Structure 1
Amino acid sequence: MSRTNIDIDDELVTMAMRLYNLRTKREAVNYALRQLVGDPMTLEEALAMKGVGWEGDLDAIKGGGPIEDLDDIDLDLLPQDLGDLDARDDR
């Protein structure tokens, strides 16, 4: 493992540490990198997600067939809290 100095968003690191019970910034950064490259979730990580399940109605969203016209989509059935989508443009 090498040592690297980076400028990092402290607020995001703190949030990640709190959400995932990580003790250090190093753990937070390494955890995020592992998630990005696709390491499978450990049993502990999966169990930590218990209770954060999705409460939507997948059958209602699917509508039983292909979407012929985007105007037919009932937007009230889609999740409302999608976070700050503008922040994702920085990738």
Structure 2
Amino acid sequence: MFGRHAAHAEPLLDDVQWQFLMDPSVPSRSCCCPARPMVKVIMPPAPGRPDPVDLWLCGHHYRASRAALLAAGADVEDLTTPRHADDELFAEVA
């Protein structure tokens, strides 16, 4: 009698753009809040911190911190875009 709409019958987790949700190396929560991380930020060593530090930030906190992260020289990895073999090639061109 009550059925699901065909568009909502199967979750889209098999879709390439959602593969980061199933990656076991990505934590289920951000460092900053309970939301899923959208970026991995690698903070470079600084005075008093001899080693780099990984930060897993949600989209909101990343956008709010983008200027400070840029000033600190942090590397940012977008977790929402699928990785391809050609990514390194394009990164060298950019």
- Higher RCO structure, 1 or 2 (CA under 8 Å, sep 6+): 2
As a proportion of its length, which structure holds more helix? 1
Structure number with greater Rg is: 1
TM-score (ref. length: structure 2): 0.24
By percentage of residues, which structure has more strand? 2
